[in-house]
A and B are shown apart, each in its own frame.
Chain A
Amino acid sequence: MGVISKLAASNLFYRKTKAIVSILAVALGIILVTVLVGLADGTLNEYANRIERIGADIILQPPGSSALFAFSGGVLPIKLKGKITLLPGVRIVSPVLMTAGAKVKDAVVLIWGIDAATYDQVGVGIKILQGRMFQGQYEVVIDTVWASSKNQKVGDTIELLGKTFNIVGMRMAGDSGRILVPIETLQSLMSTEGKASLFLISATSASAVQPLVARLKKEFPGYNPIISATYTQALIDNAMAFKQFVIVVTALSVVVSFLVILLAMYTSVVERTKEIGILKAIGAGKVFIIRAILLESILLTLIGVGSGYGLSYFTKIWLNHIYPSLTVDLTWHRMLMAGMWAMAGGLIGSLYPAIRASRLDPVETMVFE
C-alpha cells in the first residue's frame, strides 16, 4: 500500500462514526438502485417468465399496447378468438384475463382468469399437485408459493374481490398467475364481461410461428403479437415507465453519493485544515494534497459500494423471507452500474473539497485551531 493510500486509510478510520455514517449513506444509494430496480426488474421478469413458461407460441395483446399493458385488465373482445382460430397455422387460442392489483390476505397477488379447457392445451398444460382443476364458479387453484407464503391448503377458503372462493387445487408455481379462477368469474367480478387481457396462441408447428405473427399483424392492424420466447425482451424494451424509473432511482443514488461524500470530505478538510497546512509547509504540492483527499473519498465510496452490495443481498434475502412471492433480481451488470455511478458521484463530490484543500494558504492554516 502506498504512503498516500496509508494516509487516506488512516484518516478515514480515525473518525470512525463519521466514516461509518458516510459508508452507510453510500451503501443506501447502492441499495436504492439494486433493490428497487431489482424489484421492478424481478417483477417484470417474473411476469414475462410466467407467460413464457406457459408454452404458448404467440401472445396477442391489445392495439397500441406495450407488453406491460397486459397488466391492466380486460380490453380485448373475446369474440376475436373465433377469427384468430380460423387463421392458417393456428392450433388453439386461449383467452386470459388478469388482474395484478387484487389484494388477498394483505398481499397484492396476480390473479388469472383462464378458460381451463383451452389453457390446458395451448402450452405445457396445468400440473395439479393436490386436488383438482376448478369446475364451479367460485373455485380457485393456487400455486405452491402462494400456498406456503399464506399457509393455505386445498379445502380452505379465501376472499377474492369481495367473494368467497374454495381452494380446490394446488399446482406447481412457475407460470401464469398465483391464483387461477374461471375467466367468466373474473370477468364478472371485474365488470369486464366478454373481455380478455391477452390471447395465448399455439401454432400448428414451429415453422408456422413467424408467418402466423405476420398474418396476425396484417389481419389485426395495431394489435401486438409477440413471439413467446422473446416476450421478456419485448416487455423490457416497451416498458418506458420502467426505464424512467431506473433513471430516476440511479440519479437519486448518484445525488446521495455526491452529497454524502461532498459533506464528509468537506468537513474532513475543515477539521484537518491545520494538518493540510503542515503538509503544504513541508513541501506537499497541490497534486499531493488532491491525491490524498481523492484517495480517501475513493476508499470511502469503495467501502460504501461494497457494503451496499452486501446489504442489497441481505435485503433480497430478507424480502424473500417476508414476502416469498416478491422477486428481486440482483444482476451483476445492474450492481456494477450502481457501483460505478456511486463512485462517480463520490469522486465528483470530493473534487471541491480536494481543490479547496490544495489551495489552502499554509501560513493561514498554521494559526487555525
Chain B
Amino acid sequence: MSAPDFILRTIDLIKVYRSGKVDVPALQGVDVGIERGEYVAIMGPSGCGKSTLLHLLGGLDHPTSGKVFLDNIEISSCSDGQRTRLRRERVGFVFQRFNLLPTLSVLGNLEVARAIHSNGAMMVPYGRLREMLVLVGLESKMRRKPSELSLGEQQRVAIARALIHQPAIVLADEPTGNLDTTNSMNILRLLQELNRTLKQTIVMITHNPEAAAVGHRIIEMRDGKVVSGATSRAPAVIP
C-alpha cells in the first residue's frame, strides 16, 4: 500500500483567540490530511472551529501552535508575504457571500483575479477567462455586473474566479449557505464535476448534510476537535 499523497496536512493544530483577558480556544490539536484529488466536506455546529481551520489551511491566518503543510510546504511558519504568495499560486477560495467586486462585470472580476494570479513568475493566459466562463456556463453573461445575476450565478462566477489559476486546492466556505435548494444543487453539481473531471482537490465547509454527502469524505468537528472523518466513501449522486 502506497503512502498517501497529501496536498494539505495539519499536525496538532491549535488556535487560541484572545477576547479581552480571556483565551478562547478555537482549535484544540487538529490533525487532518487531505489527499490530492479528494473532495472533503467539513461539518459541525456553529463555533466548532470549521472556519478557523479553513483559514489556517488556506494560509489566511497562522496557528497558535502546530503545523500546516500545503503541497509539502510548511505554511504555518511562513511570513505574511510568503503566505500571500502561496495563496496566490496554490489556493482558490469560494465564500458563502460570493464576495465579487460589485463595480466590475463578470469578466472584470475574472480579469482582476487573473491580474493578481499573474503576479510574479506565474502567468495566467487570457484565454483561461473564457474557458472558465464556459465551464461555469456564464459566457453569455460576462458583461453583466454581479447585481444583475442570480445568487447561484454569482456563486458560479466566484467558483470561476477561484479556479482561474488552476489552484492545487479549492477551499469553499459554505458555498451554498446563501442559496436556495435548486441553486445549491447546481453549485454542488458543478463542484463535483470539477473534482471528477479535473481532479480538483476541494475542501468544503457546510452545515448541510446533503451537501456534505457529495464529497468523498466528511470530517466532523466539535469543540475545536475532529471527532470523525478518517474513512472515504462513495460520493452521493446529485439528482
B114 CB contact (under 8 Å) in A3, A11, A274: A3
Q: Say yes or no: is A321 at the interface (Cβ < 8 Å to chain B).
A: no
Number of residues on chain B facing chain A (CB within 8 A): 30
Name which residue of chain A comes closest to B87, CB basis: A283
B89, A3: Cβ atoms closer than 8 Å: no
Chain A residues within 8 Å of B115, by CB? 2-4, 288
A280, B102: Cβ atoms closer than 8 Å: no
Q: Determine how close the nearest CB of chain A comes to the CB of B104; give it in whole angstroms.
A: 5
B114, A282: Cβ atoms closer than 8 Å: no
A278, B103: Cβ atoms closer than 8 Å: no
In the complex, the 7 A-B pairs of residues with the closest C-beta atoms, listed nearest first: A283-B88, A10-B103, A3-B115, A14-B103, A278-B99, A283-B87, A3-B111
A278 CB contact (under 8 Å) in B61, B95, B119: B95
A339-B23 Cα distance, complex, nearest whole Å: 53
Contact with B along A1-45 (1 / 0, CB 8 A): 011101100110110000000000000000000000000000000
B85, A282: Cβ atoms closer than 8 Å: no
Can you show 23 pairs from A to B with CB atoms below 8 A apart?
A: A7-B101, A7-B104, A7-B112, A10-B101, A274-B99, A278-B95, A278-B99, A278-B101, A279-B112, A281-B58, A281-B87, A282-B88, A282-B113, A282-B116, A282-B162, A283-B85, A283-B117, A284-B88, A284-B116, A288-B116, A288-B119, A362-B60, A363-B55
Q: Determine how close the nearest CB of chain B comes to the CB of A355; give it in whole angstroms.
A: 14
How many inter-chain residue pairs (CB < 8 Å) link A and B?
73
Q: Say yes or no: is B33 at the interface (Cβ < 8 Å to chain A).
A: no
Chain B residues within 8 Å of A101, by CB? none
A6 CB contact (under 8 Å) in B92, B104, B119, B161: B104
Q: Say yes or no: is B228 at the interface (Cβ < 8 Å to chain A).
A: no
Residues on B facing A (Cβ under 8 Å) = 55, 58, 60-61, 81, 84-85, 87-89, 91-93, 95, 99, 101-104, 108, 111-117, 119, 161-162
A280, B112: Cβ atoms closer than 8 Å: no
Chain B residues within 8 Å of A11, by CB? 103
Give the residue among A274, A288, A366 with the most B Cβ atoms within 10 A. A366
Q: Say yes or no: is A275 at the interface (Cβ < 8 Å to chain B).
A: yes
A280, B84: Cβ atoms closer than 8 Å: yes
Give the residue among B91, B95, B101, B102 with the most A Cβ atoms within 10 A. B101
* A96-154 interface with B by 8 A CB criterion: none
Main secondary structure of the interface of A (DSSP, over half): helix
Q: Say yes or no: is A285 at the interface (Cβ < 8 Å to chain B).
A: yes
Q: Determine how close the nearest CB of chain A comes to the CB of B212; give it in whole angstroms.
A: 22
A285, B104: Cβ atoms closer than 8 Å: no
Q: Determine how close the nearest CB of chain B comes to the CB of A202; give it in whole angstroms.
A: 70
A275, B116: Cβ atoms closer than 8 Å: no
Q: Determine how close the nearest CB of chain B comes to the CB of A272; give it in whole angstroms.
A: 9
Chain A residues within 8 Å of B99, by CB? 274-275, 278
B108, A6: Cβ atoms closer than 8 Å: yes
Chain B residues within 8 Å of A279, by CB? 112, 116
Are A14 and B111 also in contact (CB < 8 A) when A280-B84, A281-B87, A283-B116 are? Answer: no
